[in-house]
């Protein structure tokens, strides 16, 4: 066994161990902390699979932003209920057997994947010069399969509409409350003052470098969202009123720019979401910049939940 394979085996065992602990933990809070650790370990696995774009996304969104969302829920829900709800032994045994069968089935599939593996990498590589990009993943996201990314923008927006629609009638249009704290911790406030300028610079770098190296719009927007949420948790800023026209404009801007460029593509170039030759990179960067802002605000507001009374000062 090579040292690299030994390392990978240790990493896989660690991921499985943390995952099992996350499922078995008694308290919800402990389970959420386990889940955040699981996400970060998974990011390491992605790095080992040479998928650095996914590693960044997993760490930022899968572990980070989802972690904040779940921690907030664990904090708002009563702890006592966490202990009472456990299912009986027969159900657990039946579920365990079912899951073992599913795992064995999937393992058999993994072991019998076709050889040589089917791949679209040569096609992606062949068209890369036309986009002016160096990172094939960004090219797939914003050129070859731009329709997926556009629809994803719409899905995220629809999820936010769904979350907002859970507001009580009288709270409609008010501001959501990300985090309620009475006494503000000095260290947290200092962190929320020192970190965001650094975070914003890192986010801009990740966005810009995403054209040619690992990085891109989603990773950058997750970092921006994290910085904004940090200032909200420290009490330095508040979520805006959900009825504010500026906010709503920001939210739809990402999908709207995509749609406008896409429709222009069907006139100027020859298909919906096609870029005219020579302008591809400029248009892609333009879409990415607007999309980053738009997705950052959407992610933070998805965590903040529906508008509530008491959100306004």
With respect to other proteins, which residue has the nearer C-beta, 236 or 274? 274
With respect to other proteins, which residue has the nearer C-beta, 98 or 282? 98
Which two three-digit tokens encode residue 53? 């774009």
> Which position among 3, 170, 187, 267 is part of the footprint of other proteins (CB under 8 A)?
170
Q: What is 46-57 written as a DSSP string?
A: HHHTT-HHHHHH
- Work out how close the CB of 186 gets to other proteins at its nearest, in angstroms, rounded to a whole number: 29
Q: What are phi and psi of 58, to 5 degrees?
A: -60, -45
With respect to other proteins, which residue has the nearer C-beta, 92 or 248? 92
> Which position among 46, 228, 258, 275 is part of the footprint of other proteins (CB under 8 A)?
46
Dihedral angle of Cα 61, 62, 63, 68, to the nearest 10 degrees: 60
Query: Does residue 209 belong to the site contacting other proteins (CB under 8 A)?
Result: no
DSSP code at position 117: P
DSSP code at position 230: H
Which two three-digit tokens encode residue 117? 């593996």
**222-261 positions binding other proteins, by CB under 8 A:** none
Query: Does residue 107 belong to the site contacting other proteins (CB under 8 A)?
Result: yes
Query: Does residue 159 belong to the site contacting other proteins (CB under 8 A)?
Result: yes
Query: Does residue 295 belong to the site contacting other proteins (CB under 8 A)?
Result: yes
Collect all residues with Cβ–Cβ distance below 8 Å to 229 and sequence separation of at least 6. 68, 178, 300, 303, 304
> Which position among 58, 192, 284, 290 is part of the footprint of other proteins (CB under 8 A)?
58
Query: Does residue 50 belong to the site contacting other proteins (CB under 8 A)?
Result: yes
- Work out how close the CB of 251 gets to other proteins at its nearest, in angstroms, rounded to a whole number: 13
> Which position among 215, 218, 273, 296 is part of the footprint of other proteins (CB under 8 A)?
218
CA–CA separation, 113 and 126 (whole Å): 25
Which two three-digit tokens encode residue 190? 């200092």
- Work out how close the CB of 264 gets to other proteins at its nearest, in angstroms, rounded to a whole number: 23
> Which position among 127, 129, 166, 249 is part of the footprint of other proteins (CB under 8 A)?
166
Closest CA to 33 of 70, 78, 81: 70
CA–CA separation, 301 and 177 (whole Å): 9
Round to the nearest angstrom and report the end-to-end CA distance of the chain.
Answer: 62
**110-149 positions binding other proteins, by CB under 8 A:** 110-111, 113, 117-122, 124-126, 136-137, 139-141, 144-145, 148-149
Stretch that binds other proteins, among 15-23, 237-245, 252-260, 279-287 (CB under 8 A): 15-23
CA–CA separation, 183 and 180 (whole Å): 10
Query: Does residue 47 belong to the site contacting other proteins (CB under 8 A)?
Result: no
């Amino acid at each position: 066994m090579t040292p690299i394979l030994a390392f990978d085996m240790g990493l896989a065992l660690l991921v499985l161990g943390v995952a099992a602990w996350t499922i078995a933990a008694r308290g919800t809070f402990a389970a959420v902390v386990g889940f955040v650790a699981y996400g970060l370990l998974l990011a390491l696995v992605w790095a080992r699979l040479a998928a650095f774009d996914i590693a960044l996304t997993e760490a930022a969104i899968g572990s980070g932003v989802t972690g904040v969302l779940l921690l907030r829920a664990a904090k708002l829900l009563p702890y006592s209920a966490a202990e009472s709800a456990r299912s009986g032994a027969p159900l657990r045994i039946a579920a365990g057997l079912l899951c073992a069968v599913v795992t064995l089935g999937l393992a058999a599939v993994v072991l019998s994947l076709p050889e040589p593996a089917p791949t679209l990498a040569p096609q992606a590589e062949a068209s890369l010069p036309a986009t002016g990009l160096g990172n094939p993943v960004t090219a797939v996201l914003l050129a070859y399969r731009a329709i997926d990314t556009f629809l994803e923008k719409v899905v995220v927006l629809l999820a936010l509409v769904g979350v907002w629609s859970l507001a009580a009638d009288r709270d409609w249009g008010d501001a959501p409350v990300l985090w309620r704290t009475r006494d503000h911790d000095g260290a947290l406030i200092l962190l929320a003052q020192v970190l965001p300028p650094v975070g914003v610079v890192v986010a801009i770098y990740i966005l810009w470098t995403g054209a040619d190296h690992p990085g891109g719009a989603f990773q950058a927007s997750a970092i921006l969202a994290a910085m904004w949420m940090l200032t909200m948790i420290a009490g330095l800023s508040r979520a805006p009123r959900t009825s504010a026209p500026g906010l709503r404009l920001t939210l739809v801007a990402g999908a709207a720019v995509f749609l406008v460029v896409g429709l222009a593509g069907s006139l100027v170039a020859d298909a919906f979401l096609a870029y005219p030759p020579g302008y591809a990179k400029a248009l892609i960067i333009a879409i990415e910049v607007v999309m980053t802002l738009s997705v950052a605000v959407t992610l933070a507001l998805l965590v903040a939940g529906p508008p509530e009374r008491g959100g306004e000062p």
